[in-house]
Amino acid sequence: MAQDFSEREVQFETHPDRYRHWKLTFDGPVATLSMDVQEDGGLLTNYKLKLNSYDLSVDIELADAIQRIRFEHPEVHSVVVTSLKERVFCAGANIFMLGSSPHGFKVNFCKFTNETRLAIEDASQCSGLKFLAAINGICAGGGYELALACDEILLVDDGNSAVSLPEAPLLGVLPGTGGLTRLVDKRKVRRDIADFFSTLVEGVRGKRAVEWRFVDAVCSRSRFDESVAQRAADLSASSDRPSSGPGVTLGPLELTRSGDRFEYSTVTVEMNRMKRTADLTVRGPDGPQPSDAQAMLALGDQYWPLRAFREVDAALLHLRLNEPEIGVVVLRTVGDREAVLAIDRTLDSHRDHWLAREILHFMKRTLKRLDLTAKSFVALIEPGSCFAGALLELALAADQSFMLDDPDRPTAIAMSALNGGALPMSTGLTRLQTRFLGEPDKVEKLLAIGEAIDPHAALQTGLVSFTPDELDWDDELRLMIEGRASLSPDALTGLEANLRFAGPETLETKIFGRLSAWQNWIFQRPNAVGERGALKTYGVEGRPEFDWRRT
Residue 98 parent element (H or E) = helix 95-100
Confidence of residue 258 (pLDDT cuts 50, 70, 90): very high
**Tens digits of residue pLDDT in 124-175:** 999 999 999 999 999 999 999 999 999 999 999 999 999 999 999 988 888 8
- Interval 505-519: pLDDT, tens: 999 999 988 877 777
pLDDT of residue 368: 98
Three-state SS annotation for 230-262: HHHHHHHHCCCCCCCCCCCCCCCCCCEEECCEE
Q: Judge whether 453 lies within some domain.
A: yes
Residue 546 lies in a domain: no
Is 518 contained in some domain? no
Q: What is the pLDDT of residue 453?
A: 98
pLDDT band at 1 (very low <50, low <70, confident <90, very high): very low
Mean pLDDT throughout 353-375? Answer: 97
Cβ burial, residue 325 (10 Å; 0-12/13-18/19+):
exposed
Once rounded to an integer, what is the mean pLDDT over residues 194-214?
Answer: 96
For residue 495, pLDDT over 80 is answered with: yes
- Closest C-alpha among 499, 425, 502, 394 to residue 118: 425
Last residue of a domain, one of 203, 223, 243: 223
Is residue 2 domain-resident?
Answer: no
Query: How would residue 536 be classed by pLDDT, with cut points 50, 70 and 90?
Result: confident
Same domain, 76 and 164: yes
Q: Which pLDDT belongs to residue 518?
A: 73
Q: How many C-beta atoms lie closer than 10 Å to residue 198's C-beta? A: 19
Q: Do both 217 and 262 map to the same domain?
A: no
Are 119 and 206 members of one domain? yes
**309 assigned to some structural domain:** yes
Range ranked top by mean pLDDT from 157-171, 410-424, 491-505: 410-424
103 and 196 share one domain: yes
Domain count, the chain: 2
Same domain for 69 and 175, yes or no, is yes
Task: Please check whether residues 206 and 288 belong to one and the same domain.
Answer: no
Q: State residue 177's pLDDT score.
A: 72
Mean pLDDT of the chain: 94
- Whether 128 is in a domain gets the answer yes
Mean pLDDT (whole number) for 70-81: 98
- Is 471 within a domain? yes
Same-domain pairing of 274 and 144: no
Average pLDDT over residues 288-294: 91
Least confident of 336-345, 361-370, 511-520: 511-520
264 in the same domain as 214: no
pLDDT digits (tens, 9 = 90+) for 3-35: 677 668 999 999 999 999 999 999 999 999 999
SS (H, E, C) 128-171: CCEEEEEECCEEECHHHHHHHHCCEEEEECCCCCCEECCHHHHH
The parent domain of residue 147 ranges over 18-223
Same domain for 99 and 56 = yes
Q: Do both 212 and 345 map to the same domain?
A: no
Amino acid identity of 101? Answer: S
Q: Are 38 and 166 in a shared domain?
A: yes
Q: What is the CATH number of the domain that holds 41?
A: 3.90.226.10
pLDDT given for residue 36 in this prediction: 98
Last-in-domain residue among 466, 495, 524: 495
Q: Does a structural domain hold residue 59?
A: yes
Residue 230, number of CB atoms within 10 A of its CB: 11
**Residue 534 banded pLDDT, cuts 50, 70, 90:** confident
Q: Is residue 2 scored above 70 in pLDDT?
A: no
275 and 216 together in one domain: no
pLDDT above 70 covers what percent of the chain?
A: 99
Domain stops at, among 495, 512, 537: 495
Are 216 and 154 spatial neighbours (Cβ–Cβ below 8 Å)? Answer: yes
Strand order across the 277-283 sheet: 256-258, 261-263, 267-272, 277-283, 328-334, 376-381, 400-403
